[in-house]
Amino acid sequence: MTPEQMQEMAKSLGPLVASHLMDHAKGQRDGYASLLGGNAAEPLASTPSRAPVTGKHMTEGTGINLIRFVKAKAVARMDGRNVVDVLKGWGDEVVSKALSQGNYSGLGSMVHPQFASEFIDLLRHKAVVRQAGARVIPIGASLTFDRQSSTGTAFYGGETSTIQESEPGTDAVSLSEKKLTALTAVPNDLIRNASINAEEFVRNDLLNVMALREDLAFLRGTGTQLEPRGIRNQIDPANVYAETVATAGAATLGEMKKELNKAKKKLKKGNVPMLTPVWLMSPNAETAILDSVGPGGEGTNSLEKEMVERGTLRNVPFFVTNQIPETLGAGNSRSELYLVDMSEVLIGESMALEIDVFPNGAFTRGGQVVSGISTDQTVLRAITKHDLAMRHRQSGIVVKDLSWGNS
């Protein structure tokens, strides 16, 4: 009986029995959550909260099925066996059945669409740009659409005046697949271990590798043929300006407030919808705000209180990422502060996901080639394709040469 069924039964029973059943239902929920690596009250950020539902396997939506499939492929290659036979040997019916019904039981690198979509959904919980609210749309090899680059104008005239032509300026936005390749080396002991804890470790390692590299491209990518053009390089140059604090590196609380308000005002004056605005900042900038001394030397300043209690900064959600460098500008000690309406940011994504395994394969770490044979490791290679575009270049602000917390 599921926890939900127990709760329904409890409604028709006496208080004592109902209390016992409710406690048992909570215990079952906690047990499921523990099995998936978290707890019922506070699920992992990388694992969407999913209570067990009748007819659904408890690993659905957790990305565990994908990693189990990948690990089974590795073991199959090591032992010269069929991947479905490996899965059945582990007692897994869900993944082995899904592979048997499609063309995914061989040793090709294409991932079953159901498992691929689960993994991409989990990536959203790891990657900051996705968390912040960028909209995801499916694309094939490419997608092009028009956007308004300048507004039209209107005129008053007399009864017989010639009506002047007025057209808004437009340009094109193109999304074309850029290939993200991620490598991670996993100990062979974990590959052969069929426990959920081992699979969570492999899943999280692969997700972290992909999320970090994706965020770096989506924030500050150069836009070459091989890499997406990041938000920083798509924003209108007029919306990129240096900080205005009186003393670099020692911004007061009042100066920080003025800088934040200036960015918000400039974005509003650009007629940006402001549907889902967010701040994006580095850890140094966040720490500088939290450590700023309030009026009269108060222990907790007003911005700190808002950030801690509400998760917002000047009534706008904020996100902190190491993918905004803190080694820019003068003395290689400056950073950047972003204010972006994420409803205007589009991620074009191919849902196809390829993951291949190379038992005892070689890989590069810190510029040095490492032998998987010597280290007893298997290399996992994941490939996904995506791109990023902003619907309007005025939809973001970048405060550059930011010295907050970098002195």
Do 244 and 296 belong to one domain? yes
CA neighbor of 109 nearest in space, from 131, 83, 139, 144: 83
73-76 long-range contacts (CB < 8 A, ≥24 apart) are: 73/107, 73/356, 73/357, 74/191, 74/357, 74/359, 74/378, 74/380, 75/191, 75/192, 76/107
The total domain count for the chain is 3
- Domain membership flag for residue 170: no
Most confident by average pLDDT, 59-68, 97-106, 155-164: 59-68
| Range 99-124 average pLDDT | 72
Do 18 and 31 belong to one domain? yes
- pLDDT (0 to 100) of residue 375: 94
- Domain membership flag for residue 159: no
pLDDT digits (tens, 9 = 90+) for 80-108: 888 888 888 888 888 888 777 655 555 45
Residue 11 per-residue DSSP state: H
Do 7 and 87 belong to one domain? no
Amino acid at 307: M
How many residues are there in the chain?
407
Do 377 and 397 belong to one domain? no
Distance CA 134, CA 270 (A): 20
| Range 161-185 average pLDDT | 77
Please determine, for residue 347, whether its predicted confidence score (pLDDT) is greater than 80.
yes
Most confident by average pLDDT, 230-239, 287-296, 344-353: 230-239
At which of 39, 56, 73 does a domain end?
56
- pLDDT (0 to 100) of residue 98: 79
- pLDDT (0 to 100) of residue 101: 64
Please determine, for residue 155, whether its predicted confidence score (pLDDT) is greater than 70.
no
Do 105 and 185 belong to one domain? yes
Please determine, for residue 20, whether its predicted confidence score (pLDDT) is greater than 50.
no
At which of 56, 72, 101 does a domain end?
56
SS3 call for 287: helix
Do 247 and 336 belong to one domain? yes
Residue 92: both structure tokens together: 């897994």
Please determine, for residue 196, whether its predicted confidence score (pLDDT) is greater than 80.
yes
CA neighbor of 2 nearest in space, from 77, 53, 36, 78: 53
Q: Can you give the three-state secondary structure of 149-189, one letter per residue? A: EECCCCCCCCCCCCCCCCCCEEEEEEEECEEEEEEEEEEHH
Residue 331 per-residue DSSP state: G
CATH at 273: 3.30.2320.10
State the pLDDT confidence band at 44, using cuts at 50, 70 and 90: very low
CA neighbor of 349 nearest in space, from 54, 35, 116: 116
- Domain membership flag for residue 155: no
Dihedral sign of CA atoms 309, 313, 316, 320 in order: negative
Do 317 and 189 belong to one domain? no
For 209-271, the DSSP string reads HHHHHHHHHHHH-B--TTSPBPGGGTS-GGGEEE---SSTT---HHHHHHHHHHHHHHHHHTT
Do 196 and 281 belong to one domain? no
Do 283 and 375 belong to one domain? no
- Domain membership flag for residue 160: no
- pLDDT (0 to 100) of residue 146: 67
- Domain membership flag for residue 149: no
- Domain membership flag for residue 325: yes
Q: What is the pTM of this model?
A: 0.75
At which of 56, 73, 90 does a domain end?
56
What residues contact residue 336 under an 8 Å CB cut-off, 6+ apart? 232, 282, 324, 325, 328, 398, 399, 400, 401, 402
- pLDDT (0 to 100) of residue 152: 57
Domain with 129 in it: 64-137+176-227+347-387
Give the residue with greater pLDDT, 129 vs 112: 129
- Domain membership flag for residue 217: yes
Average pLDDT score over the chain: 80
**Kindly report the CA angle at 247 between 245 and 253, in degrees rounded to 5?**
55
SS3 call for 198: helix
Place of tokens 């029995």: 17
Do 292 and 376 belong to one domain? no
Exposure of 75 in the CB half-sphere (CA atoms within 13 A): 21
Residue 111 per-residue DSSP state: P
Please determine, for residue 222, whether its predicted confidence score (pLDDT) is greater than 70.
yes
Give the residue with greater pLDDT, 216 vs 142: 216
Please determine, for residue 231, whether its predicted confidence score (pLDDT) is greater than 60.
yes
- pLDDT (0 to 100) of residue 115: 80
Do 12 and 27 belong to one domain? yes
Residue 181: both structure tokens together: 């390749």
Do 38 and 127 belong to one domain? no
Please determine, for residue 179, whether its predicted confidence score (pLDDT) is greater than 90.
yes
- Domain membership flag for residue 165: no
- pLDDT (0 to 100) of residue 109: 67
